[in-house]
């Protein structure tokens, strides 16, 4: 056992309202610069939909992530494009069309237009060419099922459905969508790191954040291809790749990442997970249906004396262990098992987990009349989206796993309904709880964290020992008193 710390996240999709505030908080802080306009380190996708960049989930197209060859785990990129990596030619990069041509407008025309014969407007201009352009794509083009027959209908996850089911998805009785916010998964087995020929990408030891060194990056862009989530982007102005940094400058000052801070749906949770680094490879090689469970296995119990002892042995500070014990992520992922990774079949062991969304029950249509009478709450049996769709997203096709999560979510609601209104038979509640394998105590804890929890409970930010970290490079007080804080350019003596 080798214990390490990972700052890890849960996104409670049932709470996601699809507002995109997270994306914009991130955009403001990090990617408003030339060369980064098209980067959305955080984006929110409508599901069903094709996402951003378009169809990124389709690794037949993009060759991201890992593949199991016998007992060998190989980058899919390498296995496909030949024996040797062809650095000069990387055919698996998303093109401008897969992203979009970033644009702005000739805004100043509105104030500066000379007296004319009609009202002036601001025309779009390309940020790539500087020329006037027609806008045909954007980073969130299929929001709320926009262009559903072009985008939603081509969601790769729909392959898990039958033809009949696919047909029905756009009829009133089954019509549905939900939102999937995405940031870098800060994976345990990151394929971007493995793909980088320059050794510029690393996973920080103290918190597991995956970073692209802006000093070392040489712009090969293998990380862009290697990441199956397409969460590394190439900055065309600086010639370096950039990606979500999990707002480490904020985390290091005890503030939640901007996307999490700004989430009005209060869907996000952050906290430390302890994991066994020795078993990463083993977990990543598990059979597809067992990947989720295998990943859970290597997440360690922070209350287990053996884990604590080993953690200390491996240099994990006590205050980190204490933080791990308070981690809301641990509860969702490991204790209640209702948070699942996105596309575990990419085998990168993503460390961002999703609680799947409850959706309205399906209706029925007869003679142009719509009826909706089958269930009180949203249900598994009458779900608008088949469980197979959710399994395609969150459990590498393991339907039982997803169904189990839904049982717990629905049991929680029924239990609280019975408690606060009293119009559910107690026998039924007991049955539902038993079927979901959940206790009233667990329900109460889940409810508290889901519905009531405040900022400090949702975001348990580990205590970063910045004084010690800086001390490794320079005497901390010298840094405090000297020019270390904030001077971008030291003055030079002489002319």
Partner 1 sequence: MTWIRDLIDPQARSWEDFYRNRWQHDAVVRSTHGVNCTGGCSWMVYVKNGIVTWEMQAIDYPKLKSDLPLYEPRGCPRGIVYSWYIYSPLRIKYPYIRGVLLDAWYHARATHADPVAAWASLVDNEELRTQYQTARGKGGFRRASWDDALEIVAASLLHTAKKYGPDRVVGFSPIPAMSMISYAAGSRFLQLFGAPLLSFYDLYADFPPASPETWGEKTDVAESADWFNSKYIVVAGSNLNMTRTPDAHFAVEARHHGAKLVALSPDFSEVSRLADWWVPVHAGMDGAFWMAVNHVILTEFHVQRTVPYFNEYLRRYSDCPFLIALEKRGDSYVAGRFLRANRIERYRNVQNGDWKFLVVDRISGESRMPRGSIGYRWQQQKGQWNLEPKDGLDGSDIDPLLTLLDQNDGEVQVRFTDPASGRTFQRGVPIKRITTSDGEVTVTTVYDLLMAQFGVSRGLSGEYPLDYSDATIPYTPAWQEQYTGVGRDTVLQFAREFAGTAEKTRGRCTVIIGSGLNHWYHSNLHYRTAITALIVCGCVGVNGGGLNHYTGQEKLVPAASWSALAMASDWVSPPRLQNGPSYHYVHSDQWRYEKGLHDAPPDGGVFAKSHVMDLQSDAVRMGWLPFYPQFDANPLELVHRAESDGANSSQQIVDWVVDQLRRRKLRFAMEDPDAPGNWPRVWIIWRANAILSSAKGHEFFLKHYLGTQDTAIAEDLAQGSVRDVVWHEQAPNGKMDLVVDLNFRMDTSALYSDVVLPAASWYEKDDLNTTDLHSYIHPLGAAVPPCWESKPDWDIFKALAHKVSELSAAHFPAPFRDLVATPLLHDTPDELAQPEVKRWYEGECDPVPGKTMPHLSVVERDYTKLFHRFCSLGPRIKEEGVEDRGIHIPIGDLYDQFAAMVPSYEFPDGKFPSLVDPVHAANMVLFFAPETNGEVAYRGFQAREHETGLRLADLAEGNRSTRYDFLALTRQPRRILTSPCWSGITNDGRAYSGFCQNIERLVPWRTLTGRQHFYLDHEAYLAFGESLPTFKPSISLDASLNLIKSVPEGNTLVMNCLTPHGKWHIHSTYSDDLRMLTLSRGIEPFWMNDRDAEQLDVRDNEWIEAYNDNGVIVTRAVISARIPRGVALFYHAPERTMPFAKSPLRANRRGGGTNSVTRLRLKPVLMAGGYAQFSYRFNDYGPAASDRDTYVIVRKLPGKPLI
- Interaction with partner 1 in 69-98: which residues (CB under 8 A)? none
Do residues 301 and 331 make contact, with C-beta atoms less than 8 angstroms apart? Answer: no
Q: Which of residues 95, 108, 131, 426 is near partner 1 by CB under 8 A?
A: 108
Do residues 372 and 384 make contact, with C-beta atoms less than 8 angstroms apart? Answer: no
Distances 221 to 90, 185, 217, 451 between C-alpha atoms, Å: 8, 18, 9, 42
Q: Which of residues 82, 488, 489, 493 is near partner 1 by CB under 8 A?
A: 488
Cα-only R_g, the chain: 24
Q: Which of residues 197, 219, 254, 376 is near partner 1 by CB under 8 A?
A: 376
Nearest distance in Å: CB 278, partner 1: 8
Report if residue 430 touches partner 1, rule: CB under 8 A. no
Distances 347 to 99, 131, 327, 329, 360 between C-alpha atoms, Å: 24, 42, 24, 20, 32
Q: Which of residues 11, 41, 56, 177 is near partner 1 by CB under 8 A?
A: 177
Report if residue 176 touches partner 1, rule: CB under 8 A. yes
**Could you give the CA distance from residue 117 to residue 88 in angstroms, rounded to a whole number?**
53
Range in contact with partner 1 (rule: CB under 8 A) among 56-64, 112-120, 286-294, 320-328: 112-120
**Could you give the CA distance from residue 354 to residue 171 in angstroms, rounded to a whole number?**
27
Q: Which residues, listed in sequence order, are joined to residue 173 by a DSSP beta bridge?
A: none
Nearest distance in Å: CB 21, partner 1: 5
Q: Which stretches within 169-257 are classed as H helix?
A: 191-195, 222-226, 248-251
At CA 432, angle to CA 426 and CA 437, rounded to 5?
125
Nearest distance in Å: CB 19, partner 1: 5
Q: Which of residues 69, 452, 490, 493 is near partner 1 by CB under 8 A?
A: 452
Site string for partner 1, 386-415 (x = CB under 8 A): --------------------------xxxx
Range in contact with partner 1 (rule: CB under 8 A) among 155-163, 175-183, 223-231, 297-305: 175-183
Range in contact with partner 1 (rule: CB under 8 A) among 27-35, 85-93, 227-235, 399-407: 27-35
Q: Decide whether 40 or 56 has the Cβ nearer to partner 1.
A: 40
Do residues 185 and 352 make contact, with C-beta atoms less than 8 angstroms apart? Answer: yes
Nearest distance in Å: CB 80, partner 1: 20
Q: Which of residues 19, 93, 218, 445 is near partner 1 by CB under 8 A?
A: 19
Instruction: For the segment 457-486, give every residue that binds partner 1 (CB under 8 A).
Output: 469, 472-473, 486
DSSP secondary structure letters along 23-53: HHHHHHHHS-STT-TT--SSEEEEESS-TTT
Report if residue 193 touches partner 1, rule: CB under 8 A. yes
Range in contact with partner 1 (rule: CB under 8 A) among 200-208, 287-295, 305-313, 389-397: 200-208
Dig out the tokens for 465 from the structure: 């020992």
Instruction: For the segment 292-351, give every residue that binds partner 1 (CB under 8 A).
Output: none
Instruction: For the segment 261-280, give every residue that binds partner 1 (CB under 8 A).
Output: 261-266, 277, 280
Q: Which of residues 68, 198, 218, 359 is near partner 1 by CB under 8 A?
A: 359
- Three-class SS state of 14: helix
Q: Identify which of 162, 114, 122, 173 has the alpha carbon closest to the alpha carbon of residue 383.
A: 173
Do residues 395 and 417 make contact, with C-beta atoms less than 8 angstroms apart? Answer: no
Instruction: For the segment 230-259, give every residue that binds partner 1 (CB under 8 A).
Output: 245, 247-250, 252, 258
Q: Decide whether 325 or 465 has the Cβ nearer to partner 1.
A: 465
DSSP secondary structure letters along 260-317: HHT-TT--EEEEEEEEEGGGHHHHHTS-GGGHHHHHHHHEE-TT-HHHHHHHHHTT--
Q: Which of residues 70, 82, 114, 287 is near partner 1 by CB under 8 A?
A: 114
């Amino acid at each position: 056992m080798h214990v390490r710390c990972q700052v890890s996240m849960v996104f409670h999709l049932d709470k996601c309202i699809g507002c995109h505030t997270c994306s914009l908080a991130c955009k403001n802080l990090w990617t408003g610069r030339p060369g980064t306009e098209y980067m959305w380190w955080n984006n929110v996708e409508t599901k069903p939909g094709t996402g951003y960049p378009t169809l990124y989930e389709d690794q037949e197209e993009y060759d991201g992530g890992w593949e199991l060859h016998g007992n060998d785990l190989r980058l899919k990129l390498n296995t496909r494009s030949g024996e040797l990596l062809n650095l000069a030619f990387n055919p698996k990069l998303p093109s401008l069309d897969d992203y979009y041509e970033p644009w702005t407008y000739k805004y100043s025309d509105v104030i500066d237009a000379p007296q004319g014969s009609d009202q002036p407007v601001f025309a779009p201009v390309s940020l790539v060419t500087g020329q006037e352009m027609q806008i045909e794509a954007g980073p969130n083009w299929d929001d709320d099922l926009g262009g559903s027959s072009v985008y939603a209908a081509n969601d790769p996850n729909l392959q898990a459905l039958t033809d009949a089911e696919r047909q029905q998805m756009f009829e009133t009785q089954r019509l549905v969508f939900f939102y999937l916010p995405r940031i870098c998964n800060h994976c345990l087995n990151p394929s971007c790191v493995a793909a980088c020929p320059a050794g510029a990408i690393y996973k920080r030891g103290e918190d597991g954040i995956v970073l692209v060194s802006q000093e070392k990056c040489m712009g090969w862009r293998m990380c862009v291809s290697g990441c199956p989530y397409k969460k590394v982007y190439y900055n065309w102005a600086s010639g370096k790749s950039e990606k979500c940094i999990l707002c480490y400058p904020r985390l290091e000052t005890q503030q939640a990442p901007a996307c999490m801070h700004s989430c009005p749906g209060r869907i996000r949770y952050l906290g430390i997970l302890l994991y066994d680094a020795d078993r990463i490879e083993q977990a990543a090689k598990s059979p597809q249906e067992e990947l989720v469970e295998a990943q859970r296995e290597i997440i360690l119990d922070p209350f287990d004396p053996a884990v604590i002892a080993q953690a200390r042995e491996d240099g994990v500070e006590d205050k980190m262990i204490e933080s791990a014990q308070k981690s809301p992520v641990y509860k969702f992922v490991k204790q209640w098992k209702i948070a699942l990774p996105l596309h575990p079949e990419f085998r990168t062991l993503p460390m961002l987990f999703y609680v799947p969304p409850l959706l309205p029950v399906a209706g029925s249509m007869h003679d142009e009349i719509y009826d909706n009478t089958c269930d009180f709450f949203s249900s598994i049996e009458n779900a608008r989206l088949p469980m197979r769709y959710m399994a395609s997203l969150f459990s590498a096709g393991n339907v039982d796993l997803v169904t189990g999560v839904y049982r717990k979510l629905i049991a929680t609601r029924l239990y609280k309904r019975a408690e606060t209104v009293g119009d559910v038979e107690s026998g039924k509640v007991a049955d539902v709880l038993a079927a979901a394998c959940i206790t009233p105590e667990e329900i109460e804890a889940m409810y508290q964290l889901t519905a009531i929890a405040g900022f400090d409970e949702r975001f348990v930010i580990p205590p970063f020992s910045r004084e010690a970290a800086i001390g490794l490079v320079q005497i901390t007080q010298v840094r405090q008193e000297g020019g270390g804080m904030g001077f971008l350019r030291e003055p030079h003596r002489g002319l």
